[in-house]
Amino acid sequence: MPSRPAPPSADLIARFAAIVGGRHALTAADDTRPYLIEWRDRYEGVSPLVLRPGSTAEVAAILKLASETGTPIVPQGGNTGLVGGQVPDESGTEIVLSLGRLDRIRAIDPAASTMTAEAGVILDRIHDAADAVDRLFPLTLGSQGSCTIGGNLSSNAGGTAVLAYGNARDMVLGLEVVLPTGEIVEGLRALRKDNAGYDLKQLFLGTEGTLGVITAAVLKLWAKPKAQEVAVAGVATPADALAALGLAKTRAGAQLTAFEIMPRRLVEFYLAHQPGSRDPLSTPAPWYLLVEVSVGTGLAEARALMEAVLEDGLAAGLIQDATIAQSVAQAKDFWRMRHGMSEVQKHEGGSIKHDVSLPLSALPDFLARATEAVERLVPGCRPVPFGHLGDGNIHFNVSQPVGGDKAAFLAGWEAMNAVVHGIVTELGGSIAAEHGVGRMKRAILAGVRSPVEMMLMRRLKATLDPAGILNPGKVV
Amino acid sequence: MPSRPAPPSADLIARFAAIVGGRHALTAADDTRPYLIEWRDRYEGVSPLVLRPGSTAEVAAILKLASETGTPIVPQGGNTGLVGGQVPDESGTEIVLSLGRLDRIRAIDPAASTMTAEAGVILDRIHDAADAVDRLFPLTLGSQGSCTIGGNLSSNAGGTAVLAYGNARDMVLGLEVVLPTGEIVEGLRALRKDNAGYDLKQLFLGTEGTLGVITAAVLKLWAKPKAQEVAVAGVATPADALAALGLAKTRAGAQLTAFEIMPRRLVEFYLAHQPGSRDPLSTPAPWYLLVEVSVGTGLAEARALMEAVLEDGLAAGLIQDATIAQSVAQAKDFWRMRHGMSEVQKHEGGSIKHDVSLPLSALPDFLARATEAVERLVPGCRPVPFGHLGDGNIHFNVSQPVGGDKAAFLAGWEAMNAVVHGIVTELGGSIAAEHGVGRMKRAILAGVRSPVEMMLMRRLKATLDPAGILNPGKVV
């Protein structure tokens, strides 16, 4: 990694600005501010320049100039990342490259079930465009109204549909990428089988803009389900939840499209703070599951499948109680509760967060051990682990003790992380499940990846970005 | 790439042999021969030594010694590859590294739906082990009785189940790999969401043993379908077949587990040469489809779904005639016909083969243009394109003219390849869909990949295998 350069000179800023045209080169503090602050206010960067190119060629010209002049570049999509990967550091030497103006859907092919979209297209628009041709793009995230597909792919986003459809990595057939040197990798292929040489797109999926800048992608589309059912079910323990998941997968296979878990404590937070909310279960349970099935046939088949899934769990003594949504509105209420699980923690004071994943069979053990460990570390703290049971990804968040001091609690962030991550690692899990590494977890990466793996990552970085100008200080 | 070394000395051979023990170091011609000949007899290599290590540590020691001495190593699984990627060249300088003795299934976890298997486990055994715990490993290939999972992953194998389950790349969660330097990448993670740094396993999946040697993998398992139905349907044109596929995907979604296409001419070959075979359709059609649906519920649901799929196609005027298998035996007969499509060509003289894929919507155009082009090139030749319509992968094979000279026809192999590959490339397809590049297509790779892509591939090779000892002369 080269030593950190000085802030770009006025002359250099003018040369960068000339590439995109003055109107799209932001320098005034009021204009640049939205690009410099992470939405959870954890990171606030400093930059003299935000570039908003309007074409792949402009992105290429920017990166070529950056490589030639050793100017650090921070690519940014919708600025919704949760690990600081998309914001510049505080040095004032880094330039932000916002992909937001690359917002064309270049092509959509219902027969081939593909869509070619530029990096800056917002995820909601991708959903709508697929829907308009009776297809589905299944990536589903809380931030889908503002995150961009380029950011989703660069960070290999997860979300609630991974169980049935995989991660963002699994939803892409081809990529157009600009290398740090400004060379363009023209890989917009729409093929479901292609072994003509190395699969180069894998170098850029999930590498958080450190090896190249994704400018467009050929996305896979799926058949749009004709009918869905959503239910909330109560279970006594995570082990019961896991066993119920196994039965549901056996019964519904790929038609099981969500299997989420929430603890009673978090449901209580939601009922207390969300106006008009109601407990979906008549008898409160220690853990709540949100279950969704999707079918290509019709409503009767969806209902029959959901009833069979729940009956399997009830008959095995795993599910205590269950409610199937009786209307589209009620189904939305169930999902609103699930999506409100993160937001609602704000009402209960400080919250220390962990985005971790475990081998499915290790989840009950992890939840028991991590809960005990953080309660020992901070007596009175309130663990509220929730998330994507179906794919093993738990947001092991911990709310502060009632009436305690928020700042004092949050000062223990790293200490609590260390305890939880230690248990995760011991059980073969990941400390960075769906949010990535970014800036937040860079320092601890070497603690969970072997020296050989760290060596390989650094070699890839040096091979693809020899000048070290692309998103420095992130991931590796 | 360093210049080709001399054959290994007797001393060096002894040092390699000492790593695995004399019994597992084959040097006699009778012993090594099965490892040197590709099963279609297209390639016959020369090697003084075949090493059969019994552990990952032995693989590591072999590669370390190879790197130190500049000895080229050719990794080999079940020796079923179709592009010569697994056999040594004719120089006598290369040593074969057979992974066949790494044949343990290390762990199987039905609750997590994962299996950890060593590289040399034969695919059929993976199937059986999954089945024994009520799970499915969906990779389905003609060679599954002898190919190994290590080879499947190294070549990113495809097969008939890609439509619903993806390629081999999509069926793996973690890898254990030995680098050309002998270092071991310990990546046997069983996680469905993991963004803790670069996804290094992608470097080794589908790179045909040129960047590392896969020694073990954590495989994803799926819910085992409770019931399946198989049907054969007749359609008039590839365009009708494609439209019927669209309807079938809309109706059945991920429950559509196969959608294969065969031309009438190839069905006639099969009926003529396969004792006891019968035409599945009462009225012959220009194109035959094999359609399979799989459900997690029961036989009645499977039958209802298949009937709905076929009725959709019949009502739209796409399907002319259809037969649902009335027994497990008849379903097997339908699949036997499909799997016999390759073998049966041998009875009709010489056959020139192409393993290509197209964007789905370009398939009808491709088939029309390629058929016309090869018939113009070799009057009287008989194109018999068949394969995986559901994923766009067509084996565009061409049988020689009736009564023509086989050798003369086969002498036109490269010329015909050039014509067909030209059309494939023009339509945005791949000249190496599921069989890979290996040795056969290495020389033509630069014609279908951009200079930037070739540069990236060569840089990856140089970065991971600086001594150039791993499977030289393959892929890049």
* B439, closest residue in chain A (CA to CA): A197
| Largest interatomic CA distance in chain A | 73
Q: Which residue has the tokens 């990779």?
A: B139
CB pair distance less than 8 Å for B457 and A186: no
On chain B, the residues whose CB falls within 8 A of the CB of A450 are: 185-186
CB A461 within 8 A of CB A476: yes
- Please state, in angstroms and rounded to a whole number, the distance separating the CA atoms of residues B35 and B30: 10
Contact A223 B155 (CB under 8 A): no
Q: Above 60 in pLDDT, residue B363?
A: yes
What's the pLDDT band for A266 if we cut at 50, 70, 90?
very high
Q: Are A109 and A190 in contact (CB under 8 A)?
A: yes
Estimate to the nearest angstrom the gap between the alpha carbon of B417 and the chain centroid: 19
Contact present, B185 and A456 (Cβ < 8 Å): yes
d(CA B163, CA A219): 15
Across-strand partners of B430? B357
Predicted TM-score of the model (pTM): 0.96
Residue length of chain A: 476
pLDDT digits (tens, 9 = 90+) for A65-78: 999 999 999 999 99
Kindly state the average pLDDT of the residues B352-366. 96
- The nearest alpha carbon in chain B to A429 belongs to B191
Interface with B, mutate which of A169, A173, A198, A251 (most B CBs under 10 A): A198
Predicted pLDDT of residue B4: 57
> Which residue type is seen at A25?
A
- A34-57: pLDDT as tens digits: 999 987 778 999 999 999 999 999
Reduced 3-state DSSP string for A35-49: HHECCCCCCECCCCC
Which residues in chain B touch residue A393, judged by CB atoms under 8 angstroms apart?
192-193
Kindly state the average pLDDT of the residues B268-285. Answer: 96
Question: Would you call A129 helix, strand, or coil by DSSP?
Answer: helix
Q: Provide, rounded to the nearest whole percent, the portion of chain A with pLDDT above 90.
A: 96
DSSP notation for A388-443: EGGGTEEE--EEPPTT--HHHHHTTHHHHHHHHHHHHHHTT-BS-SSS--TTTTHH
B chain contacts of residue A475, beta-carbon cutoff 8 Å: 197-198
pLDDT tens, B259-276?
A: 999 999 999 999 999 999
For the cut 90, the answer to whether the pLDDT of residue B470 exceeds it is yes
| pLDDT digits 0-9 by tens, A122-167 | 999 999 999 999 999 999 998 999 999 999 999 999 999 999 999 9
Does residue B350 have a pLDDT over 60?
A: yes
Burial B105-133 (b: 16+ CB within 10 A, else e): beebbbbbbbbbbbbbbbbebbbebbeee
- What average pLDDT does chain A have? 96
DSSP secondary structure string, A168-232?
A: GGGGEEEEEEE-TTS-EEEE----SS--SS--GGGGTTTSTTSS-EEEEEEEE-EEPPSEEEEEE
pLDDT(A320) > 50 = yes
Amino acid at A32: T
For residue B355, what are the contacts with CB-CB under 8 A and spacing of at least 6?
B82, B393, B395, B431, B432, B433, B434, B435
Residue A2 in this model has a pLDDT that exceeds 50: no
Q: Percent of chain B having pLDDT more than 70?
A: 99
Measured between beta carbons, the chain B residues lying within 8 angstroms of A295 are 253
Residues A397-416 have pLDDT tens digits of 999 999 999 999 999 999 99
Element (H, E) at B305: helix B299-315
Integer CA distances (angstroms), A309 to A244, A256, B364, in order: 9, 9, 41
Give pLDDT, residue A372: 98
pLDDT(B115) > 50: yes
Closest CA to B334 of B398, B280, B288: B280
Question: Once rounded to an integer, what is the mean pLDDT over residues A335-346?
Answer: 94
Which of B193, B197, B250 is facing A392, going by the closest CB pair?
B193
CA angle B458, B460, B464 (to 5 degrees): 120
- Strands A73-76 and A95-98, sheet pairing: parallel
Query: What token pair was written down for A108?
Result: 């959509």
Q: How far apart, in whole angstroms, are the C-alpha atoms of residue A323 and residue A315?
A: 16
pLDDT of res. A1: 42
Backbone angles phi, psi at B239, to 5 degrees: -65, -40
Q: Are A424 and B185 in contact (CB under 8 A)?
A: no
Tokens found for residue B367: 């088939």
Query: Does the structure show a pLDDT above 70 at A4?
Result: no
Residue A347 has pLDDT above 90, yes or no: yes
H or E stretch at B271: helix B264-273
Q: In what order do the strands lie in the sheet with B73-76?
A: B25-26, B50-51, B95-98, B73-76
What domains lie within chain A, and their CATH numbers?
105-223 (3.30.465.10), 227-342 (3.30.70.2190), 350-433 (3.30.70.2740)
Give whole-number Cα distances, A228 to A213, A296, B65, B322, B327, in Å: 37, 9, 58, 30, 32
Distance from CA of A206 to the nearest CA of B (A): 7
Provide, as residue numbers in chain B, all residues whose Cβ is less than 8 Å from the Cβ of A130. none
Amino acid letter, A223:
A
Which of B191, B197, B295 comes nearest A475 by C-beta?
A: B197
pLDDT in tens, A236-246: 999 999 999 99
What three-state secondary structure class fits B233?
strand
Residue B380: count of CB within 10 angstroms of its CB: 11
Contacts of B311 in chain A (CB under 8 A): none
Distance, C-alpha A48 to centroid of its chain: 28
Mutation for testing the B interface, residue in A133, A170, A192, A389 having most B CBs under 10 Å: A192
Distance (Å, whole) CA B132 – CA B146:
20
List CB contacts (< 8 A) between A206 and chain B.
195, 198-199
Strand partners, B303: none
CA A100 from chain center: how many Å? Answer: 18
Q: Which residues contact B337 (CB under 8 A, 6 or more apart)?
A: B232, B262, B267, B270, B274, B277, B280, B290
The type of residue at B411 is A
Q: Where are the alpha helices (DSSP H) in B96-179?
A: 123-132, 149-154, 162-165
A234, A288, A365 from A320: Cα distances, Å:
5, 10, 21
Taking the C-alpha atoms of residue A189 and residue A204, their distance in angstroms, rounded to an integer, is 15
Strand, helix or coil for residue A53: coil
For residue B3, the model assigns a pLDDT of: 53
pLDDT in tens, A82-113: 999 999 999 999 999 999 999 999 999 998 99
Contact between chains at B192 and A357 (C-beta distance less than 8 A): yes
Please tell me which residue of chain B has the smallest CA distance to A218: B359
How much is the average pLDDT of B368-375? 98
**Total length of chain B:** 476
Task: Say yes or no to pLDDT of A215 above 90.
Answer: yes
B384 close to B391: Cβ distance less than 8 angstroms: no
Question: Nearest CA to CA, how far is B468 from chain A (Å)?
Answer: 16
The pLDDT of residue B1 is above 70? no
pLDDT digits (tens, 9 = 90+) for B5-42: 789 999 999 999 999 999 999 999 999 999 999 877 78
Across residues A385-391, what is the average pLDDT?
96
User: pLDDT tens-digit profile of B127-160?
Assistant: 999 999 999 999 999 899 999 999 999 999 999 9
Beta strands at A114-118 and A105-109: parallel, antiparallel or unpaired = antiparallel
Cα separation, B99 vs B96, in Å, equals 10
Task: Give the whole-angstrom CA distance, residue B19 versus residue B58.
Answer: 6
Write down the residue that tokens 């931030």 correspond to.
A143
Retrieve residue B237's tokens.
């044109």
Phi, psi of B56 (to 5 degrees): -60, -35
Tokens found for residue A244: 């119920």
Residue with tokens 């609690």: A409
Q: What is the pLDDT of residue A41?
A: 76
- The answer to whether B228 and B302 are in contact (CB under 8 A) is yes
Residue A275 confidence (pLDDT): 94
One-letter amino acid of A173:
L
CA B311/CA A196 separation, integer angstroms? 38
Once rounded to an integer, what is the mean pLDDT over residues B114-119? 98
